[in-house]
Amino acid sequence: MSKVAVVTGGTRGIGRAVSIALQDAGYRVAATYCGNEEAALAFNNETAIAVYKFDVGDFAHCQKGVADIEQDLGAIDVLVNNAGITRDAMLHKMPTEHWRCVMNTNMDSLFNMCRNVIDGMRERKYGRIINISSINGQKGQAGQTNYSAAKAGVIGFTKALAQETAAKGITVNAIAPGYVATEMVKAVPQEVLDAKIIPTIPVGRLGEPEEIAHGVVFLASEKSAFITGTTLTINGGQYIA
């Protein structure tokens, strides 16, 4: 029987590409979403990938969501913590709510989701957890103290959980994408992309969501069994950690 993979924020952007790539690799995939119902239903109609609506920043929602997925598809073998939001502002202008909601969705969600799958993975002595960080969690970014802090936290969380679970047959790794051609990045004015962003990327272009997805599929596979606690940087050479 094929393995079950869950992708949070899995119906749009990088998450969408990850969900499709895992399905193509033979996984039974569940994609979670929170806000955009229309996009999620269109994604489901197009791909036949099961979609589940719940807030990954809420522990009780995750508890129920994981239970629903496992009831429908079976025990979760692969968890991709991809869901994320931005609420950019310079710190001296940042509302408290912008800090809290970014930390809640981008950082607390890792605990909420991992805590609800980890016991099963430990019992079965198998699991793959892949956490999506960011180039800005590695180097920082002005106007993104909240986002950069959360994404740096993702890397620390990954390293610690990897040490806790390695002997149980569970690997935990992170991927830190650079600037990828998603809706969020494409919303940046083209003149800004051309003048200030793309020139800083040595390969001379934005990444594609599918290029991040390829990394996820590898880290979810048996071929990556000796890799844990690492951060795979996929950014076209823009920042070399």
Distance CA 215, CA 193 (A): 25
**Cα 167 from chain centroid?**
24
Distance CA 116, CA 122 (A): 12
Active-site residue 27, yes or no? no
Strands (DSSP E) along 94-178, which ranges? 127-132, 170-177
Neighbours of 187 (CB within 10 A): 7
Distance CA 83, CA 116 (A): 16
Neighbours of 59 (CB within 10 A): 16
Reference 212, options 192, 236, 229; nearest CA is 236
Give me the sign of the Cα torsion angle 126, 58, 72, 31: negative
Strands (DSSP E) along 151-203, which ranges? 170-177
Place of tokens 């099963």: 120
Catalytic annotation, pick one of 33, 147, 179, 239: 147
For the record, the structure tokens of 66 come out as 């994981």
Distance CA 239, CA 112 (A): 30
Distance CA 226, CA 128 (A): 12
Catalytic residue set: 147
